[in-house]
Amino acid sequence: MRYLVTGTAGFIGFHLARRLLREGHEVVGIDGLTTYYDVLLKQRRLAILQEFPGFSPYEFMLEDEAAVIRVFEETKPEIVVHLAAQAGVRYSIENPRAYINANVVGTFNVLEACRFHPVKHLVLASTSSAYGANEKTPFEETDKSIHPITLYAATKTSTELMAHCYAHLFAIPTTAFRFFTVYGPWGRPDMAYYIFARKILAGEPIEIFNNGESYRDFTYIDDLVESIVRLVAAPPAFPADRSGEPAPAIDTLSPVAPYRMVNIGGGHPVKLMDFVEEIETALGVTAQKVLKPLPPGDVVGTYASAELLQHVIGYKPDTPLSVGIPAFVEWYRAHVN
């Protein structure tokens, strides 16, 4: 298959592209190599992908509509995996325009390209931050009270709605998935686990927000990639293909479009302090901890319902922190510290 993957210099895009290339697929990669975090890390990821003959990289921002269309015309992808985005909850408070440009305008250009160059399946990334101020847990895709509390979350929710419109109007089989706190080797330096490792090894104190009572549904990168690969192979049906049978109550199949939205999380939330202890154990160092209040834009917890994911692909993330954190630390010691 010929895949077009946006964000191939990013954490998740790199891991997915490498998996696809190892399996013998062709991967067309688009990345803007922004300076949001260390560009050298992004270049190192790309260098690994470029060792595969099936990888074709393009460097530009998705806001460049003409460039997006040109790549679709030149490469004729069969599957599109749209992962590129301006990430980061707190940075969206400082630089909101970057999120409108990258996430809304960039996604619109990808959708337009899929409109005029039809693909077998479009899959695109959203975020658990979309659930925002929801107090009901676990978060279910069918929850109606979605109240994002940052512009980052609002832009990602907007891309879900845009994608549904395009799926309906132009018959594009589309799956949107909400990620839950992804971690692992080759991760982003702005993520908490990466910052914790760096500071603990440097003998610097780490900041623990909400007195360590916050919790996250952590997802190991290999589990995430496995989930994406399986979801790619399970495009949502056109409504007419459902033979008049109602979708299961847990499903999010659209009644008017070949569209589905699904969580990718294991359904095993962990308190932040327990997460820190796993990092301390893997590093063999006890952290100096400074307790801080919850910052603006952060939520107390995320907790995925994995029922729909299990229903659709027969799989859900299950790598425990006791395995995933040591794998990250081993990579960090070898490549960073």
- Amino acid (one-letter) located at 67: A
Helices and strands: H and E segment counts in the chain: 12, 13
Question: What percentage of the chain has pLDDT greater than the value 70?
Answer: 97
Say how far apart CA 162 and CA 104 lie, in whole Å. 9
SS3 assignment, position 117 = coil
Nearby residues of 179 by Cβ (< 8 Å), 6 or more positions away: 12, 125, 126, 127, 128, 219, 224, 264, 265
Say how far apart CA 246 and CA 244 lie, in whole Å. 6
Domain 2-335 belongs in CATH node 3.40.630.30 = no
Nearby residues of 157 by Cβ (< 8 Å), 6 or more positions away: 126, 130, 146, 148
Tokens of 6: 């946006």
pLDDT digits (tens, 9 = 90+) for 68-98: 999 999 999 999 999 999 988 788 888 999 9
Longest dimension (CA), the chain: 62
Sign of the alpha-carbon torsion through 319, 322, 328, 334: negative
Stated length of the chain: 337
pLDDT in tens, the chain (337 residues): 999 999 999 999 999 999 999 999 999 999 999 999 999 999 999 999 999 999 999 999 999 999 999 999 999 999 999 999 998 878 888 899 999 999 999 999 999 999 999 999 999 999 998 998 888 889 999 987 678 888 999 999 999 999 999 999 999 999 999 999 999 999 999 999 999 999 999 999 999 988 888 999 999 999 999 999 999 999 998 876 555 566 677 889 999 999 999 999 999 999 999 999 999 999 999 999 999 998 887 788 889 999 999 999 999 999 999 999 999 999 999 999 6
pLDDT digits (tens, 9 = 90+) for 164-216: 999 999 999 999 999 999 999 999 999 999 999 999 999 999 999 888 889 99
The pTM (predicted TM-score) of the whole model is 0.95
Phi, psi of 318 (to 5 degrees): -145, 10
Domain ranges in the chain?
Answer: 2-335
Q: Are 167 and 185 in contact (CB under 8 A)?
A: no
Residues with a known catalytic role: 152
